[in-house]
Amino acid sequence: MIIVMRRGATPEEIQTVEERVRQEGCLPHTSQGVETVVIGVIGQRTEGMVERMARLPGVEMAIPITKPYKLASKEFRAGPTIIDLDGVKLGSDDVVIMAGPCTVESREQVVTTARGVRAHGAHVLRGGAYKPRSSPYSFQGLGVEGLRLLQEAKEISGLPIITEVMEPGNVGLVAEHADILQIGARNCQNYPLLREVGRISKPVMLKRGPGCTIEEWIMAAEHIMSQGNMQVILCERGIKTFETYTRNTLDLSAVPIVKRLTHLPVIVDPSHGTGKWYLIKSMCQAAIAAGADGVLIEVHPNPDTALCDGAQSLTIENFADCVEGIRRVAEAVGRRVPARELVFA
């Protein structure tokens, strides 16, 4: 349920509503809008509660939310959630490009990539320091050293950083270095981890689990938001199907669906979605045409030598061509890829 307060409702009236919500065994989540205060009610609604809340002084209306997800729902917030990433506004008409290596391998590799992707239009640098690898014998990432190298690449390139966190106990450390925390596909339903990133005040990008329905994925976002962190970005990265030609099946229909159901920004990762570098540009263009707010692309200065995901990584030259392709589609659908000069003036 959401409770919309009258314009000019007093702090005492708001406090009384919050107290009554707690007495009913629920948690109030109060947001101050431009003109009105809206109180989201988290928890199981009791019989007759909507009517009881609607009668309290200062309340304009109480609206039950029918969806299982509440805070993520369009019913809770009609306008889009917009996340400011150093001047680029994810969730607005800006198309945001996040790019970088799958894994941070060395200073030279990450700095070369950061400079290259920035020169060709990226807004955010990606790179894994803690890697969820299917095999325990594969390279697991550089850990803290990887975070330090990302920080250095950020200082040199001016690009904010997105990197993955895999354990609740590491959230504080990763949040010290990253501008956006990534929850990987395998951890989409790791609820203790979701709750932990729900307690920080940095944006969190939640990848769709390979076996998650759209509703399970949005419910995972709800776990983060229920702890107070409203800055959640959804990322479609492909799901498991019977098809084997591509690494996963990139479900682009998920983009307009989650845009219809939620107010959260949605980005698409065609690198993990397809596993093939030569499919990235067309899937990026299709993603933007479908209404995605941005893309996440793996780029490596020399994909043949990459320690992880080389087959799906673009060279810097191919990345430049991909961005041009994205720009053309963005313009065709009335959006824009903000120019680096405008953003980092």
Summarize as ranges the residues that interact with Mn ion (CB under 5 A).
102, 309
Q: Which is nearer to ligand PEP, 58 or 209 (CB)?
A: 209
Residues 63-102 that bind ligand PEP (CB under 6 A): 102
Sign for the CA dihedral angle at 330, 87, 90, 324 comes to positive
Which of 29, 207, 263, 327 binds ligand PEP (CB under 6 A)? It is: 207
- Nearest-approach distance from CB 135 to Mn ion, in angstroms: 14
Residue 207 partner contact from Mn ion, ligand PEP, none using kind-dependent CB cut-offs of 5 to 8 Å: ligand PEP
Size of the chain, expressed as the number of residues it contains: 345
Q: Which is nearer to Mn ion, 222 or 309 (CB)?
A: 309
Site pattern 180..199 for ligand PEP (x: CB under 6 A) = ----xxx-------------
- Nearest-approach distance from CB 51 to ligand PEP, in angstroms: 45
Which of 247, 272, 281, 327 binds ligand PEP (CB under 6 A)? It is: 272
How far is Cα 251 from Cα 254, in angstroms, rounded to an integer?
6
Site pattern 100..139 for ligand PEP (x: CB under 6 A) = --x-------------------------x---x-------
Within 10 A of 317 (CB to CB), how many other CB atoms are there?
A: 10
How far is Cα 87 from Cα 326, in angstroms, rounded to an integer?
20
- Nearest-approach distance from CB 269 to ligand PEP, in angstroms: 6
Residue 185 partner contact from Mn ion, ligand PEP, none using kind-dependent CB cut-offs of 5 to 8 Å: ligand PEP
- Nearest-approach distance from CB 172 to Mn ion, in angstroms: 24
How far is Cα 47 from Cα 30, in angstroms, rounded to an integer?
22
209 binds ligand PEP (CB under 6 A): no
How far is Cα 277 from Cα 140, in angstroms, rounded to an integer?
22
Question: Which distant-in-sequence residues (6+ apart) come within 8 Å of 133 by Cβ?
Answer: 139, 140, 308
Binding stretches for ligand PEP (CB under 6 A): 102, 128, 132, 184-186, 207, 237, 272
